[in-house]
A = this chain, B = another copy of it.
Amino acid sequence: MENKIKKKPLILLSNDDGYDAKGLLTLIEVLRPLANLVVMAPDGPRSGFAGALTITQPLRYQLISEAENFSFYKCSGTPVDCVKLALHDVLTEIPDLVIGGINHGDNSSVNVHYSGTLGIVLEGCMKGIHSIGFSLCDHNSQADFSPITSTIVDIVTQILEQGLPIGVCLNVNFPKIQQLRGVKICRQTKGTWVNEYIKATHPTGKPYFWTVGEFHNEEPEAEDTDHWALEHGYAAITPVQIDVTAYSAMKELQTLVR
């Protein structure tokens, strides 16, 4: 038999809260024993950047820390830029996983469409790499991630072993809780944001607006949704797909074709 030394997996990490966010530093700490890590994170907060990429400005990145099987870069761009640029200019091989997080804040339900963390995950997935986003429902910069790290390690280990279907990535959200009740595979909750602005007045008298908002859950009783899982103490794993075609609508839209 061949004496095969099993190579450590290679994981590309990024986030949208910036390179110095506690969630990212926690993720680095728990994944370092498991894998070779390359981290490319934005040089400041990029929450709510979704799949945005930088076109009209030049992009830069720089190494900020290095150790055995570990390199850590910060980048002037968006979360998606971080993934693209790391794959293009830093990594010399395709990573086994792309991971975004741990995000400070909830990325369940329609937040998938605004989240920079999900931008990272979708980008990895579009590049054909198994990709996972981890988020904790706690915006606090000093949030306590300790109750969820062992579950993160479990999920990462399993996805490294079993992979994910092509075109599918994972949006994993954790409730703010000391003891998880378990893990659920969920669908995206139907909901929307309301009361999204606070109007304020600049010293010159001109109005401006801060984006805020409250999430309105349109199906609070639906036990198969990610929001329900989070409300009830479970980690919510929502599989997300790259193909967003509304196949169910194609037939009735034929009326548009003459």
Contacts and interface: CB of A to CB of B under 8 A. Distances in A.
A113 interface: yes
A1 interface: no
Contacts of A165: 246, 248-249, 252
- Contact-residue size bin, chain A (C-beta under 8 Å from the other chain): 35 or more
A250 B239 contact: yes
Contacts of A210: 58-59
B209 A85 contact: yes
A148 interface: no
A185 B257 contact: yes
A55 B47 contact: yes
A245 to B, nearest CB: 4
Nearest to A45: B56
A128 B192 contact: yes
A179 to B, nearest CB: 15
Interface of A: 45, 47-56, 58-60, 78, 80-81, 84-85, 88-89, 110, 112-114, 119, 122, 126-128, 155, 158-159, 162, 164-165, 167-168, 170, 182-185, 187-188, 190, 192-193, 196-197, 199-200, 202, 206-211, 237-250, 252-258
